[in-house]
Amino acid sequence: MNAKEVIQIIDDLVFAKQGRWLEEPEKIVLRSAWLDLDYKDVAENSLYDINLLQRRVAPKLWVLLTGILGNGEKVTKKRLRGILEKQIVVADKKPAKSNEAAAGLPILVGNLPDVSNFYGRTPELAMLKELIAQERCVAIIGTAGIGKSALVVKLVQALRMGSYEFNGFIWKSISYSPLLTDLVADLLRILADSEKQELDLPESIQARISKLFDYLRSRRYLVILDSAESLLQGDRNTRANAYGKQYTEYGTFFNRVIEEQHQSCFLLTSREPFIDFNRLQKKGQPVRTVKLEGLGKEALELFRFHGLTDEDKWGDLIQTYRGNPLSLKILADKIQNFCGGSVERFLNFQTVLMTDIFQDSLDDLFEEKGRLTILEKQIIFHLAEELTKESGNSIGLSRLLKKIKESQQSEVTTSEVLEAIEALYARSLIEQEINDSQEVLLSLEPQVIKYVSTYAFKLVQNTVYDLKSA
């Protein structure tokens, strides 16, 4: 095993036992131990002082690992490799267990994304572990690059290292928008193979679903559907069903997943909320939607990893890009390439960089047949215009309502505008807060303003924001 693999194993073990991930200085100490390097040599190639690593971080880490790995033997810098290798050899010689623990019977389908550079999210992971134990369906919602898939991968890794009571895990990306009959057939094949059964695949979709529920009742599986927004293809302007004509059966399917008795859990990642999930959650059904926000101070470790300078300016970057891990990673690479790693030099350009994945996701929303309604687009354009004109951080809700009503040739109700603002907030496209006077203030993150002003004004010329034609 190389140092990266060792750190990953120990990181997962620490989370499974302690509910937290290793900090970057702890990873550096582990790397030095595994490669038999002096702390002095490690400190010279890192941002951390040798006294911090040797006197504060290392002693506490060895005490922690003694409790997790020691089995009565004290873990030290010199003993780590021998203790860990001995445990791996013993584990390899043990016969396979017949119990139903996740570590004994994992089922992984497809390639999990690489999450070697993962930061923070300890509260979110702890919450997800609780939710998948309690609910039959959990949806993680967030913008492109916010880390939904990475969070779920870390959850799976932590569960596999622990003794969580799942028979197995199924990871399936559905970005290709499979029809329900095909997705259920794939799940049935996976489950039949895992139990070494011959699969007699029924012809009808209802018979296939019933057979799938037999598996979900007999054992406990965590079924992960990544990029589930691909299933939401209904025309939101017409208030038709969210799934659209071709995918309408998914609505009934997920209702059954949530309402019928079984032991398993479906975990979805999506850029767009599932409205039917929210309705069922309000009725007390076992389903939860989790909106994933950006990183806070945890993003500082990302900048340290990329070797950026001017640490006192890092908070400005985190705020501008709302802690989006992918945006910050791409930004850090560009700052290294074009500014020699100097954040202050980059900030002097007074520009907002638009990442490709963020722009692509906004294109999907703003295009003529995109996922935003005409009214939602209009709200964003009005808000961007006001924020740019006034050079302010936010505007009041009452002011926005007045401007929208004045611009409408047809009557739009306050209720419709509020509903559209709620939908935009759920998609992380609009931000809101309440000031000291209890007034609701609305704003947009800088990347959205940049998109609207630079890339999307051409859509105004081709789109008629008249609700009569909606």
Q: Is residue 102 part of a domain?
A: no
* CA 141 – CA 102 distance, rounded (Å): 25
Q: Which residue has the higher pLDDT, 344 or 436?
A: 344
Query: Percentage of the chain surpassing pLDDT 70?
Result: 87
Give the tens place of pLDDT for each residue, 245-296: 899 999 999 999 999 999 999 999 999 999 999 999 999 999 999 999 999 9
Give the tens place of pLDDT for each residue, 26-78: 888 888 888 888 887 777 766 677 888 888 888 888 888 888 887 768 888 88
Across 331-426, where does the E strand assignment appear?
A: 395-396
pLDDT at 346 over 90: yes
Q: Is residue 112 part of a domain?
A: no
Instruction: Compute the 3-state secondary structure of the chain and give helix, strand, coil in percent, each to the nearest 5.
Output: 55, 10, 40
317: tokens are 């970057």
Give the tens place of pLDDT for each residue, 91-116: 444 444 434 333 444 565 666 777 77
* CA 199 – CA 215 distance, rounded (Å): 12
Tell me, what's the pLDDT at 93?
A: 44
pLDDT at 462 over 70: no
Mark whether 42 and 144 lie in a shared domain.
no
Query: Percentage of the chain surpassing pLDDT 90?
Result: 39
Of 93, 108, 130, which residue sits at a domain end? 93
Listing DSSP states for 56-75 in one string gives IIHHHHHHHHHHHH-TTS--
Q: What's the whole-number average pLDDT of the chain?
A: 84
Mark whether 68 and 207 lie in a shared domain.
no
pLDDT at 3 over 70: yes
Mark whether 307 and 372 lie in a shared domain.
no
pLDDT at 469 over 80: no
pLDDT at 322 over 70: yes
pLDDT at 164 over 50: yes
Q: Is residue 106 part of a domain?
A: no
458: tokens are 């051409």
What is the number of other CB atoms lying within 10 angstroms of the CB of residue 74?
A: 11
Q: Which domain holds residue 319?
A: 299-353
CATH code of 181's domain: 3.40.50.300
Which of 462, 449, 232 has its CA nearest to residue 351?
449
Mark whether 240 and 126 lie in a shared domain.
yes
* CA 226 – CA 148 distance, rounded (Å): 9
Mark whether 245 and 131 lie in a shared domain.
yes
Of 244, 266, 291, which residue sits at a domain end? 291
Mark whether 201 and 130 lie in a shared domain.
yes
pLDDT at 229 over 80: yes
Mark whether 390 and 454 lie in a shared domain.
yes
On whether the CB atoms of residues 215 and 208 are closer than 8 A, the answer is: no
* CA 102 – CA 156 distance, rounded (Å): 9
Q: Is residue 107 part of a domain?
A: no
Which of 164, 229, 143, 132 has its CA nearest to residue 12?
164
Give, for 246, the enclosing helix (H) or strand (E). Answer: none
Mark whether 191 and 153 lie in a shared domain.
yes
Q: Is residue 100 part of a domain?
A: no
Tell me, what's the pLDDT at 63?
A: 86
As beta bridge partners, residue 433 has 441
Average pLDDT over residues 445-466: 68
In the chain, the amino acid numbered 254 is F
Of 260, 291, 322, which residue sits at a domain end? 291
Tell me, what's the pLDDT at 423?
A: 92
Looking at 58-72, 347-361, 401-415, which range is the least confident one?
Answer: 401-415
On whether the CB atoms of residues 129 and 192 are closer than 8 A, the answer is: no
Q: Which distant-in-sequence residues (6+ apart) come within 8 Å of 403 by Cβ?
A: 382, 386
Chain length of the chain: 470
Domain total of the chain: 4
Mark whether 303 and 347 lie in a shared domain.
yes
Specify burial of residue 255 (Cβ count, 10 A radius: 0-12, 13-18, 19+): middle
Mark whether 57 and 185 lie in a shared domain.
no
Pairing of strands 431-434, 287-291: unpaired
DSSP state of 112: P
Specify burial of residue 47 (Cβ count, 10 A radius: 0-12, 13-18, 19+): middle
Q: Is residue 188 part of a domain?
A: yes
CATH code of 433's domain: 1.10.10.10
410: tokens are 């047809």
